[in-house]
Amino acid sequence: MKRLVLCIISILVPSLSQAEVLYGVTITKVYAQSRLDSDAYLVQINQTLPAVCNSNRLYINMDDKELFSSALANYIAGKNVDIIYNTTSSPKNVAGHLSGLTCRLISIF
């Protein structure tokens, strides 16, 4: 079922053609950021990501409240999740942590 959903998503949304999927991920840290200084939230995961993702971290767009809420809830519950991410998204700044990060969390399922 998960593979069917991913297949449909990749057909409907061309930008996801460069997306990667990881299964059984644990979110090890959630960075809640102020809109005054940052343009993204940040999560860190327990699986190895490409070096461009700076210590296995992915950003969540500030306007994506649902994705941030899901990341926070799964972090608090200590639940393993499956994710879709992209390493070539628009660069974001997370004040006090990273500048120019292009690794974006797209989906938690």
pLDDT surpasses 60 at 10: no
- pLDDT tens-digit readout, 77-109: 999 999 999 999 999 999 999 999 999 999 999
Say which CATH number the domain at 83 has. Answer: 2.40.50
| C-beta of residue 20 within 8 angstroms of C-beta of residue 85 | yes
Residue 35 falls inside a structural domain: yes
Residue 41 falls inside a structural domain: yes
Residue 4 falls inside a structural domain: no
Residue 42 falls inside a structural domain: yes
Residue 12 falls inside a structural domain: no
Domain total in the chain: 1
Question: What's the pLDDT at 54?
Answer: 95
Question: What's the pLDDT at 77?
Answer: 98
- Burial class (CB within 10 angstroms; exposed 0-12, middle 13-18, buried 19+) of 42: buried
Residue 30 falls inside a structural domain: yes
Full domain range(s) for residue 55? 18-108
Res. 5 pLDDT band, cuts 50 70 90: low
Rounded Cα gap, residues 104 and 76, in angstroms: 21
Identify which of 12, 18, 32 has the alpha carbon closest to the alpha carbon of residue 89: 18
